[in-house]
């Protein structure tokens, strides 16, 4: 039987389904509502709350295939990817879970059975590791796991390892526990005879690798570093699909499995280079590219676009790494990654329909990012060659500038340096890098203390859909320091405060009782806890409090949230079904809505959209809200679901007429409450993504009445109440007419002045000479000078003017310059001194500006003397 990756995935899920596990979908790659994590880095992330006891699962046995991304935080494999053959940025993790159900015995027995009986892996090639215990954490050796394994595996192939290898933790804090890993030896029989695999386990050997990790979750790591036992014991396992495919397909590299073959072939075609196995650098570039294209495409499909900060920046860095490998080692000087997308879709589009559905967007975004980065690279390379001219060594500081500003990883700079025979100061670079890291760590560091329990409550009961006030008690609190500023976070047993989510900002308000009142300045969700932010704690934390939401702000936010739904609906109606929400911000004062659309929205379209939304407002359609209904039912209602959103089994549906969306936000009871809807702006956010901004209610009224007032003032000014536009057009028309008249008058004046001047020319030393003050502006004098120069021969003319500014203009015809060697540009500098100014110009015409009109006569005298003396 040929184990294709699709068959492997299915066999895994079927096996656990056979042991009463519920098959659930993968959570999105991009994590929301968790300040400790940007991307899903393990199958267990989405179940964290079950482990912590903050939430109860519907089913105590679950299995799935989870998309994971390990490029930041505690689990970061980025630098390995491509260099080795078995670490990816994005990979699929097959897993089975027990939430306070079965524990070690079943986990171990099933894992063994699946690998050896279903998948038929040779028992002699499997090695087991277990946790040896840890003094610092006060933990004993996991002897229980040893005994259970020993039923299947001889003792000498069960190896003890310390906590670095066999104690699994998701991040710096959170659920954790001892683990037991299964390693496979895929070397040839010959190789196996030479070196015992036991010596190669956990040694980064590419053919003796870990495939499955079984984690026995029993503790919660506190911020203080302490381990706190969890209320119940759980199982969390993870097996990389790509590595399992390599084993079952009898390959030596993940990249030789069916999962990557299409992509490798496509890359060969696009680049014209072959993945040979003989040229190390080129092969690494291939692996980097076919790996990264997956991570980039899946993230964009999940709604995470490349950007300058946070998760978006991580995606940008992955993309740049791929481009740079292509650039340096496969000679790709133009955008090429985006051309590989069809191959990826062919491979994975079946299992992940979001890829297919969003292919146009992914392609556009990727192409634009690639092109932008290539331009930056070119600039950096130019910068490098300029630097080369002046230096013969690459200083650390400069290498860092290339890295920081132009996205040059150090090995690219090293390559350039070596090509030029220059030395690179690697230490200096590392130091500059370290300094920067320290700076940014200081700038963003957030220290959250451990939660202090006041009253026990498992999670927060949110009552804010039905009420804006509630009687509450404090369940727990903690102190948080950020950039030297301190605030507190409170969790309540129940709360009317809406936590930031679905684009809508968190509620503000107060928490009060007889003895104190504190204000809540923000509310956020952390996993499934609702956290209230406050600058001060109440005097006494015990007892009952009244929680009151700032109702005016909440109602305005609700208007804007309903408006985003109507807007989304209208956009799809008017622009087409390709429009998909790509982000939104719902605040009390305005809303912002990002969506996929591939050209600018025209003014007419904007008008139509605005009109359509206002029609929906006037219809005053009532809200139909369905809480806690199964996903299937929501889909039957026609709900628009977004890719990249994590929805539990039960969802909330918000329906206004034909607009039906899955949504957790707050809304108005009927669309009429919006009062008025006004679009205020339309821009582009990224390739293929447009953004509109809008306002509703009182804000929209204020905006419009302000505009009308301005219009009234204009109507008044142009004396046309009925039709101010016509009035303004008339004024503009008159203005144009008057300008024309002025121009023609000026011309006449110039002619008259010219004639007058010509009649005043007198002969001096054989030269036609004149020096006097005229009543013309600088522009006219210049025009005149150009004309006279063409018309006259053998002339020197100095014209002064004393308007706002005192000026001198000197004309020396070419023949005088040639025969007498006098140049206007030089003369004027001397003359300018008389009017206390400066000037310059060409040999035939020069001007000077100054302050002192009294000096004009002196200037005339001087030029006259000069002409006489020639």
Binding residues for Zn(2+): 561, 565, 663, 667
Q: Cα–Cα distance between 698 and 600 in angstroms, integer?
A: 29
Q: Which stretch binds ligand ATP (CB under 6 A): 205-213, 403-411, 434-442, 628-636?
A: 205-213
Give min distance, CB of 132 to ligand ATP, in A. 16
Q: Is 127 in the site for ligand ATP (CB under 6 A)?
A: no
Give min distance, CB of 240 to ligand ATP, in A. 3
Q: Cα–Cα distance between 646 and 380 in angstroms, integer?
A: 41
Give min distance, CB of 152 to ligand ATP, in A. 18
Q: Which stretch binds ligand ATP (CB under 6 A): 87-95, 365-373, 511-519, 757-765?
A: 87-95
Q: Which of 33, 49, 77, 682 binds ligand ATP (CB under 6 A)?
A: 77
Q: Which stretch binds ligand ATP (CB under 6 A): 209-217, 349-357, 692-700, 804-812?
A: 209-217
Give min distance, CB of 127 to ligand ATP, in A. 13
* Angle between the N-to-C axes of helices 724-760 and 697-717, in degrees from 0 to 180, rounded to the nearest 10: 40
Give min distance, CB of 274 to ligand ATP, in A. 25
First CA to last CA distance, the chain:
109
Q: Is 131 in the site for ligand ATP (CB under 6 A)?
A: no
Q: Which of 114, 139, 148, 211 binds ligand ATP (CB under 6 A)?
A: 211
Give min distance, CB of 168 to ligand ATP, in A. 6
Q: Give the β-pairing of 795-802 and 767-773.
A: parallel
| Closer by beta carbon to ligand ATP, 169 or else 401 | 169
| Closer by beta carbon to ligand ATP, 129 or else 768 | 129
Beta bridge partners of 203: none
Distance from CA of residue 146 to its chain's centroid? 46
Q: Cα–Cα distance between 862 and 822 in angstroms, integer?
A: 14
Q: Is 216 in the site for ligand ATP (CB under 6 A)?
A: no
What is the 3-state secondary structure of 767-810? EEEEEEECCCCHHHHHHHHHHHHHHCCCEEEEEEEECCCEEEEE
Yes or no: say if 719 and 730 are a contact pair by the CB < 8 Å rule.
Answer: no
Q: Give the β-pairing of 393-394 and 423-424.
A: parallel
Q: Is 212 in the site for ligand ATP (CB under 6 A)?
A: yes
Annotated binding site: 561, 565, 663, 667
Six-digit token pair at 279?
A: 């040229």
Give residues 223-282 in contact with ligand ATP (rule: CB under 6 A): 238-240, 242-243
| Closer by beta carbon to ligand ATP, 240 or else 496 | 240
Q: Which of 91, 275, 327, 477 binds ligand ATP (CB under 6 A)?
A: 91
| Closer by beta carbon to ligand ATP, 186 or else 570 | 186
Give min distance, CB of 212 to ligand ATP, in A. 5
Q: Which of 132, 142, 169, 210 binds ligand ATP (CB under 6 A)?
A: 210
| Closer by beta carbon to ligand ATP, 80 or else 500 | 80
Sole residue written with tokens 């090429």: 336
| Closer by beta carbon to ligand ATP, 88 or else 568 | 88
Sole residue written with tokens 């057009």: 729
| Closer by beta carbon to ligand ATP, 210 or else 610 | 210
Give min distance, CB of 204 to ligand ATP, in A. 8
Q: Is 488 in the site for ligand ATP (CB under 6 A)?
A: no
Which residues have a Cβ under 8 Å from the Cβ of 190 and sit 6 or more positions away?
none
Tell me how crowded residue 677 is: count the other CB atoms within 10 A of its CB. Answer: 28
Q: Is 175 in the site for ligand ATP (CB under 6 A)?
A: no
Sole residue written with tokens 């006891």: 53
Which of these, 225, 134, 131, 135, lies nearest to 172 by C-alpha position? 225
Angle at CA 732, nearest 5°, toward 731 and 735? Answer: 85
The H-or-E segment that residue 194 falls in is helix 189-194
Largest separation between any pair of C-alpha atoms in the chain: 125
Task: Catalogue the E-assigned strands of 320-457.
Answer: 393-394, 423-424, 446-448, 452-453
| Closer by beta carbon to ligand ATP, 243 or else 652 | 243
* Closest-approach residue to ligand ATP (CB): 240
| Closer by beta carbon to ligand ATP, 352 or else 677 | 352
| Closer by beta carbon to ligand ATP, 239 or else 863 | 239
Q: Is 87 in the site for ligand ATP (CB under 6 A)?
A: yes
Q: Which stretch binds ligand ATP (CB under 6 A): 88-96, 327-335, 449-457, 637-645?
A: 88-96
Which residues have a Cβ under 8 Å from the Cβ of 446 and sit 6 or more positions away?
35, 480, 481, 482
| Closer by beta carbon to ligand ATP, 93 or else 365 | 93
Tell me how crowded residue 213 is: count the other CB atoms within 10 A of its CB. Answer: 21
Q: Is 70 in the site for ligand ATP (CB under 6 A)?
A: yes
Which residues have a Cβ under 8 Å from the Cβ of 280 and sit 6 or more positions away?
none
Q: Is 329 in the site for ligand ATP (CB under 6 A)?
A: no
Q: Cα–Cα distance between 133 and 248 in angstroms, integer?
A: 33
Q: Is 93 in the site for ligand ATP (CB under 6 A)?
A: yes
Q: Is 28 in the site for ligand ATP (CB under 6 A)?
A: no
Q: Is 94 in the site for ligand ATP (CB under 6 A)?
A: no
The 10 Å CB-count burial string (b at 16+, else e) for 53-74 is bbbebeebbbbbbbbbbbbbee
Q: Cα–Cα distance between 412 and 223 in angstroms, integer?
A: 39
Kindly list the residues in this chain that would bind ligand ATP in the complex (CB under 6 A). Answer: 70, 77, 87-88, 91, 93, 210-213, 238-240, 242-243
């Amino acid at each position: 039987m040929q184990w294709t990756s699709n068959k492997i995935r299915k066999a895994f899920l079927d096996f656990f389904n056979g042991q009463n596990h519920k098959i659930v979908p993968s959570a999105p790659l991009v994590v929301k509502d968790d300040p400790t994590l940007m991307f899903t880095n393990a199958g267990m992330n989405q179940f964290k709350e079950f482990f912590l006891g903050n939430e109860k699962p519907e089913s105590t046995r679950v299995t799935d295939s989870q998309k994971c991304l390990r490029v930041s935080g505690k689990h970061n494999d980025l630098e390995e990817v491509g260099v080795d053959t078995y670490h990816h940025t994005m990979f699929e993790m097959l897993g089975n879970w027990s939430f306070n159900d079965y524990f070690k015995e079943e986990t171990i027995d099933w894992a063994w059975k699946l690998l050896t009986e279903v998948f038929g892996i040779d028992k002699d090639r499997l090695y087991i590791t277990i946790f040896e215990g840890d003094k610092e954490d006060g933990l004993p050796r996991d002897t229980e796991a040893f005994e259970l394994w020993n039923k299947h595996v001889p003792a000498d192939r069960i190896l003890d390892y310390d906590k670095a290898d066999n104690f699994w933790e998701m991040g710096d804090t959170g659920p954790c526990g001892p683990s037991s890993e299964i390693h496979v030896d895929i070397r040839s029989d010959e190789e196996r005879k030479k070196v015992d695999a036991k010596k190669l386990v956990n040694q980064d050997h590419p053919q003796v690798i870990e495939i499955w990790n079984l984690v026995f979750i029993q503790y919660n790591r506190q911020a203080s570093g302490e381990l706190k036992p969890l209320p119940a014991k759980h199982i969390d396992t993870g097996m990389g699909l790509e590595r399992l495919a390599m084993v079952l397909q009898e390959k030596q590299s993940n990249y030789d499995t069916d999962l990557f073959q299409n992509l490798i072939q496509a890359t060969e075609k696009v680049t014209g280079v072959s993945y040979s196995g003989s040229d190390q650098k080129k092969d690494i570039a291939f692996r980097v590219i076919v790996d990264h294209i997956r991570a980039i495409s899946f993230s964009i499909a999940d709604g995470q676009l490349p950007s300058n900060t946070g998760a978006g920046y991580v995606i940008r860095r992955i993309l740049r790494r791929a481009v740079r490998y292509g650039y340096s080692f496969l000679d790709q000087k133009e955008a090429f990654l985006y051309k590989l997308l069809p191959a990826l879709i062919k491979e994975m589009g079946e299992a992940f329909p979001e890829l297919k559905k969003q292919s146009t967007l992914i392609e556009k975004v990727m192409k634009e990012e690639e092109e932008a980065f290539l331009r930056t690279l070119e600039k950096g390379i130019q910068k490098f060659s300029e630097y080369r001219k002046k230096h013969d060594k690459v200083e650390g500081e400069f290498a860092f500038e290339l890295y920081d500003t132009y996205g040059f990883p150090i090995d690219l700079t090293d390559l350039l340096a070596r090509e030029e025979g220059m030395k690179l100061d690697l230490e200096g670079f590392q130091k500059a890098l370290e300094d920067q890291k320290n700076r940014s760590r200081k700038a963003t560091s957030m220290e959250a203390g451990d939660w202090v329990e006041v009253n026990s409550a498992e999670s927060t009961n949110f009552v804010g859909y039905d009420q804006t006030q509630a009687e509450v008690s404090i369940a727990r609190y903690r102190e948080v320091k950020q950039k030297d500023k301190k605030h507190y976070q409170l969790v309540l047993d129940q709360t009317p405060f809406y936590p930031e989510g679905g684009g809508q900002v968190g509620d503000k308000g107060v928490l009060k009782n007889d003895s104190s009142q504190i204000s809540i300045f923000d509310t956020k969700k952390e996993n499934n806890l609702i956290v209230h932010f406050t600058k001060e704690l109440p005097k006494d934390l015990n007892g009952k409090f009244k929680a009151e939401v700032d109702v005016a702000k909440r109602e305005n936010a609700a208007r804007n949230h309903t408006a985003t739904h109507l807007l989304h609906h209208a956009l799809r109606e008017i622009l087409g079904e390709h429009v998909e929400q790509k982000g939104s911000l719902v605040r009390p004062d305005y809303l912002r809505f990002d969506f996929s659309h591939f050209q600018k929205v025209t003014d007419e379209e904007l008008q139509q959209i605005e009109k359509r939304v206002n029609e929906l407002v006037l219809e005053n359609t009532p809200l139909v809200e369905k809480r806690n209904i199964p996903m299937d039912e929501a889909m039957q209602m026609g709900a628009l679901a977004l890719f990249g959103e994590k929805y539990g089994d039960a969802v909330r549906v918000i329906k206004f007429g034909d607009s039906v969306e899955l949504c957790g936000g707050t809304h108005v009871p009927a669309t009429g409450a919006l009062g008025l809807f006004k679009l205020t702006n339309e821009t582009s956010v990224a390739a293929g993504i447009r953004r509109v901004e809008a306002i509703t209610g009182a804000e929209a009224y204020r905006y419009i009445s302000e505009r009308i007032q301005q219009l009234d003032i204009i109507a008044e000014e142009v004396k046309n109440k009925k039709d101010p536009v016509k009035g303004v057009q008339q004024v503009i028309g008159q203005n144009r007419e008057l300008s024309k008249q002025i121009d023609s008058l000026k011309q006449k004046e110039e002619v008259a002045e010219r004639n007058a001047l010509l009649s005043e020319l007198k002969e001096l030393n054989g030269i036609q000479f004149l020096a006097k003050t005229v009543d013309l502006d600088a522009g006219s004098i210049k025009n005149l000078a150009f004309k006279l120069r063409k018309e006259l021969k053998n002339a020197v003319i100095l014209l002064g003017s004393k308007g706002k500014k005192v000026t001198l203009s000197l004309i020396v015809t070419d023949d005088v310059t040639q025969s007498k060697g006098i140049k206007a540009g030089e003369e004027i500098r001397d003359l300018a001194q008389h009017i206390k100014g400066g000037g310059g110009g060409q040999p035939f015409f020069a001007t000077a500006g100054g302050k002192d009109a009294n000096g004009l006569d002196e200037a005339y005298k001087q030029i006259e003397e000069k002409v006489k003396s020639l």
